[in-house]
Amino acid sequence: MIVGTRIASVRQRIWLVARGLLAMSAVLASAPAGSVTLVDDRGRELRLAASPTRIVSLAPHATDLLFAAGAGGQVVAVDLHSDLPEHAASLPRLNAHPAPDPERLLALQPDLVVMWGAAADRGRLDRLEKLGLNVFVSEPRSLEAIASTLERFARVSPSPQIGLERSARVRATVQSLREEFGSRKPVPVFVQAWSRPLTSLSDRDTIGDALRLCGAVNLFGGSALAAPQVGVESVLAANPALILAFEPQADRAIWDAIGVLTPRGSIRFAVLGRALLRPSDRLVDELTALCTAVEAARR
């Protein structure tokens, strides 16, 4: 009954938010063809002479969000690690790190290039812009930023309502879960991004926002590094109630060997989908599972 009530609440929120956003999409769809203005995650304003028809995405999360916003038909190439959605795997691929090959990039004749913020230092941006390329820097670090990116990518989609509806769904789901779990007793969580070497994640990116939404505290969230390497002793000293992993069950072997996991010990262990590590709307689909795992540790 509680689950059914929650689903009904989320659907109502989606409808209320989508009603306003769909009105916006009607305005966008009826506007005459012309220039498009986008503001990227660096606050840079891009003024395009027309809606882009050839987009190159150099970040997996950006590829996912472009397709989710209804702009997948304009994507003509992606980076080596863009594996979702499935159609992206059939597109031409470029190496995005340490920098894309300018000749290959120009040969694709893109009217918009989307880059991940971590790879878009000032020097690289300058070089690409001097080649006449329009570069959008995408670096969503919060759940709200995922919704905002969907809305911005909807502006270059032939069907903007697709991205606007998805954005509304993201916001409604986040708000519903925040109201349910956000003020509950904090649960200390160790985020185990990789096991060899043992590596965690800081709160710099969306995982931190997702954990806070569920009332969890990321034990290494304050690290200056995005992915700090840690020792078993430092993890145990931090006294986690939950270890959250994203790789196969073998990841628990270190903890099983020293007997700290339930039922022998007091620490719960949960394996969730790697979608939680990528700032796209797929992450939002995993939030309920995350909050459920945190709630089990809380109880």
Name the average pLDDT for the chain: 89
pLDDT at 248: 77
pLDDT tops 60 at residue 266 = yes
- Six-digit token string for 7: 């689903």
What share of the chain has pLDDT > 90, as a percent? 78
Task: Quote the CA–CA distance of 277 and 280 in Å, as a whole number.
Answer: 9
| pLDDT tens digits, one per residue of 187-233 | 999 999 999 899 999 999 999 999 999 999 999 999 999 999 999 99
Identical topology for domains 32-172 and 182-298: yes
Overall average pLDDT of the 243-254 stretch: 88
Task: Quote the CA–CA distance of 155 and 39 in Å, as a whole number.
Answer: 11
pLDDT at 97: 82
Where exactly are the structural domains of the chain?
32-172, 182-298
pLDDT tops 60 at residue 27 = no
pLDDT tops 80 at residue 48 = yes
pLDDT at 29: 46
**CATH number of the domain at 182-298, out of 2.40.50.100, 1.10.510.10, 3.40.920.10, 3.40.50.1980?**
3.40.50.1980
pLDDT at 117: 85
pLDDT at 33: 53
Look at 17-26, 75-84, 243-252 and tell me which has the smallest mean pLDDT. 17-26
pLDDT tops 50 at residue 275 = yes
pLDDT at 6: 54
Overall average pLDDT of the 34-40 stretch: 91
pLDDT at 119: 75
pLDDT at 28: 46
Task: Quote the CA–CA distance of 146 and 156 in Å, as a whole number.
Answer: 16
Class of the domain covering 32-172: alpha beta
Overall average pLDDT of the 134-160 stretch: 97
